Structure 1
Amino acid sequence: MSESFYLSNMVPQAGEGMNRGIWAVLEKKARQWVEKRGELYIYSGPIYREGDVKTIGRNKVAVPDALFKVVLDPARHEAIAVIMPNRRLDTRDMPKYLVPVREVERLTGLEFFSTLPQEEQDRIEVPKPEDLWQ
């Protein structure tokens, strides 16, 4: 867990209402899922809109337009994915940001579960989760 705090693993996030708000709630939820479900694979990252990328600071650090989190429960063959705009958000709206894993793949160009057979990928990646795992 401590490896997630390296500077190389950070991107600028809107503070209040995102990093210290809804994103913090999601990260707490992910820790609860690990306690309840056991081993999970968790992927998080930035999403940049093509074209004009906003930067900050002297070193022109790129500011993502959105952030994603994809969580795979390998024992249950279930996945959940979230895409959140990088701005102040209401924590009560978290279910609104649930998306199919394929949507994260489409926007990022990443392929998350490529080692699984294609039919298993389709079963896990295509449906949109109806709610957050309990």
Structure 2
Amino acid sequence: MSKVTFAVIAATGAATGAAATAALYSLKKETPPPTIATTATGPPRPAPPPALSTAHTPYSVAQKAPVDPSGIFQYGFPGPVADLRPAHSLTSSYDRRTRNPTWVAEHITPQSLSENNADRKHSVFVEDVSIPEMFRAKLKDYFRSGYDRGHQVPAADAKWSQAAMDDTFALSNMCPQVGNGFNRDYWAHFEDFCRRLTKRYPSVRVVTGPLYLPKKEADGKWRVNYEVIGNPPNVAVPTHFYKVIFAEDGVPGGKVALGAFVLPNAVIASNKPLTDFEVPVEVVERASGLEFANKLEQARRKRLCQDTMCSLIVKEYKERQKSFGKNQS
């Protein structure tokens, strides 16, 4: 198709449930402008100059250009810097501006979920000291904020090792999430859905992260509006969250069932079908500025919700506490 338009849910929920408006993302095939690629580095984080070409087109053959904009790099590279965090149970990239992760990737298998070598009571929430202090999310930011410290990779997915579970408790794996009705309910059921996929697929990879989507206001204009918690204000509260799921058949070069979902950071009724939040992966890419499957050939792709049933098994939160521990996500 030369032009396809998709609707992204772009409103927070009211107390009675998840309200929604539509933010349209056009996927018209266009020639992208040239970009400069920079390589993000994890700790230790030296600041090498970016890989920029020094070849410039002279404004005249005989005269050298009178300016050198790239000379600013002699004082350091301004950024943005993506703080990569490779850990036992996850790999993530951190957004210093919002003090939230940009994306967090995990890998779950039937074996990883069957092993039970960790106890949540031995894990504690910690600040990520690998991130410079001035850009770091702080424990005090969440104190009395009204939001949960919402795991992007849940602790229940890392029971195979205490170190792996501990890794999920760094604030660089957290975002402020609405508690009752979302983090402790619908979002938790969604995480359980991802785990249950391992009953059908031997390898499941999940990328999770926040979004900050526009909402149409009374004057007809679209604006991005989100809260910032902390005193002074430090951590942005996402309007939405996404998950991009790669359910692999376990065969090298085999088929991959691909699914993408966008959920509002709001109370969602437990009987809301998960498929109501399904979107093409391109919608998440355009909304986030990220690319998830550009190296996955179309011939290898399957739509997850056509290959398996995308539905939740709703459990009361008290029952989840018995299975996975208090405040699991």
* TM range, smaller chain: 0.7 to 0.9
In the alignment, residue 98 of structure 1 is paired with which amino acid?
E
**Structure with greater helix percent:** 1
Q: Is the 8 A contact 2:246 2:258 kept in 1?
A: yes
How far, CA to CA, are the matches of 2:191 and 2:243 in structure 1? 9
Does 1 or 2 have the higher relative contact order (CA < 8 Å, sep 6+)?
A: 1
In the alignment, residue 258 of structure 2 is paired with which amino acid?
A
Runs of 4+ in 1 over 3 A off after TM superposition: 50-53, 127-131
Within the alignment, does 1:49 sit opposite 2:216 as a pair?
no
How far, CA to CA, are the matches of 1:44 and 1:62 in structure 2? 16
In the alignment, residue 281 of structure 2 is paired with which amino acid?
V
List aligned pairs for 1:81-96, cutoff 5 A. 81-93=260-272, 94-96=274-276
How far, CA to CA, are the matches of 1:55 and 1:21 in structure 2? 23
TM-score (norm 2): 0.36
What percentage of residue pairs aligned between the two structures are identical?
Answer: 32
TM-score (norm 1): 0.83
Q: By how many angstroms is 1:70 displaced?
A: 1.0
Q: Which moved more, 1:67-76 or 1:12-21?
A: 67-76
How far, CA to CA, are the matches of 1:103 and 1:128 in structure 2? 16
Select 2:257's aligned residue among 60, 78, 81: 78
Within the alignment, does 1:62 sit opposite 2:240 as a pair?
no
What secondary structure does 1:80 align onto?
strand
Q: By how many angstroms is 1:36 displaced?
A: 3.2
What secondary structure does 1:132 align onto?
coil
What secondary structure does 2:185 align onto?
helix
Q: By how many angstroms is 1:128 displaced?
A: 8.5
What's the CA shift string for 1:62-113, capped at 9, x where partnerless?
A: 0000001111113232111111000111121122111111111111111112
Count how many residue pairs are aligned between Structure 1 and Structure 2: 130
In terms of Rg, which structure is larger? Answer: 2
Q: RMSD in angstroms over aligned alpha carbons?
A: 2.4
